[in-house]
A and B are shown apart, each in its own frame.
Chain A
Amino acid sequence: MSSVHLDKLSKFYGNTVGIVEVSFDVYPGEVFGILGPNGAGKTTAIRTLLGLIKATSGKATILGRDALVPNVELREQIGYLPGIAATYDRYTARGYLRFIASMRKMNLDDEIENLSTRLDLDLDSHIHDLSKGNRQKVSVIQAFMHKPQVLFLDEPTSGLDPIVQREFEKLLHESKKRGAAILLSSHVLSEVEHLADRIAIFFKGKILVVDEISKLKEKARHRIEFTFSRQIAGEDFGQNTNISEIEVEENRLSCVVRGSQRELLTRAVELGAFEVRTQESSLEEIFLDLIGAK
Chain B
Amino acid sequence: MIALYVKTWRDHWRTLLAWSLTLIALISIQMSIYPSISENKEALQGFLESYPEAIRKIFRMQDYTSGPGFLSTELYSMMIPLVLIAVGGTWGAAATAEEEDEGTADLLLTLPISRSRILISKMFAAISVVIVLAFLGLLNVIVLRGVVDMEIETAKLLAGTISSIAIGLFFTGVAFLIGAHSRSKGVAVGVVTGVALITFLIYSLSALVDDFDPIMPYNPMQWGLSGMPLFEGVDVVGSLKLVAGGLVAMIWAIMKFDRKDISTP
Residues of A participating in the B interface, judged by any CB pair closer than 8 Å: 13, 43, 47, 50-54, 70, 72-73, 75-76, 78, 80, 82-84, 86-88, 90, 99-100, 102-105, 139, 142
Residue of A with least CB distance to B7: A99
13 cross-chain CB contacts under 8 A:
A54-B259, A75-B110, A75-B112, A82-B103, A82-B106, A84-B265, A86-B265, A88-B104, A99-B7, A100-B111, A102-B3, A103-B113, A104-B112
Please give, as numbers and ranges, the residues of chain A lying within 8 Å of B3 by CB-CB distance: 99, 102-103
A72 touches B114 (CB 8 A): yes
Please give, as numbers and ranges, the residues of chain A lying within 8 Å of B49 by CB-CB distance: none
A72 touches B115 (CB 8 A): no
B265 touches A52 (CB 8 A): no
Please give, as numbers and ranges, the residues of chain A lying within 8 Å of B259 by CB-CB distance: 54
CB B249 to nearest CB in A, in angstroms, measures 23
Please give, as numbers and ranges, the residues of chain A lying within 8 Å of B115 by CB-CB distance: 70
CB A200 to nearest CB in B, in angstroms, measures 21
The answer to whether B262 has its CB under 8 Å from any CB of chain A is: yes
Q: How many contacts between A and B, using CB within 8 angstroms?
A: 72
Bound Cα distance A82, B265 (Å): 12
CB A9 to nearest CB in B, in angstroms, measures 15
In order of increasing CB-CB distance, the 5 nearest A-B pairs are A86-B103, A102-B3, A75-B112, A53-B261, A82-B106
CB B93 to nearest CB in A, in angstroms, measures 17
- Which of B4, B102, B110, B258 makes the CB contact (< 8 A) with A52? B110
The answer to whether B17 has its CB under 8 Å from any CB of chain A is: no
Bound Cα distance A67, B103 (Å): 22
Most buried by B among A43, A54, A88, A105: A88
A104 touches B104 (CB 8 A): no
Given contacts A13-B261, A99-B3, A103-B108, 6 further A-B contacts (CB under 8 A): A50-B109, A52-B105, A52-B262, A72-B112, A90-B11, A103-B111
CB A108 to nearest CB in B, in angstroms, measures 13
B264 touches A84 (CB 8 A): yes
The answer to whether B107 has its CB under 8 Å from any CB of chain A is: yes
Bound Cα distance A130, B24 (Å): 37
Please give, as numbers and ranges, the residues of chain B lying within 8 Å of A104 by CB-CB distance: 111-112
A51 touches B11 (CB 8 A): no
A86 touches B102 (CB 8 A): yes
- Which of B4, B104, B113 makes the CB contact (< 8 A) with A72? B113
Residue of B with least CB distance to A100: B111
Bound Cα distance A105, B113 (Å): 10
User: Contact mask B224-265 → A, CB, 8 Å, 1/0?
Assistant: 000000000000000000000000000000000011011011
CB A14 to nearest CB in B, in angstroms, measures 11
Bound Cα distance A83, B113 (Å): 21
Please give, as numbers and ranges, the residues of chain B lying within 8 Å of A50 by CB-CB distance: 109-110
Please give, as numbers and ranges, the residues of chain B lying within 8 Å of A80 by CB-CB distance: 106-107, 110
Bound Cα distance A72, B109 (Å): 10
Residue of B with least CB distance to A83: B264
Residue of A with least CB distance to B117: A72
User: Contact mask B1-36 → A, CB, 8 Å, 1/0?
Assistant: 001100100110000000000000000000000000
CB A45 to nearest CB in B, in angstroms, measures 14
CB A132 to nearest CB in B, in angstroms, measures 13
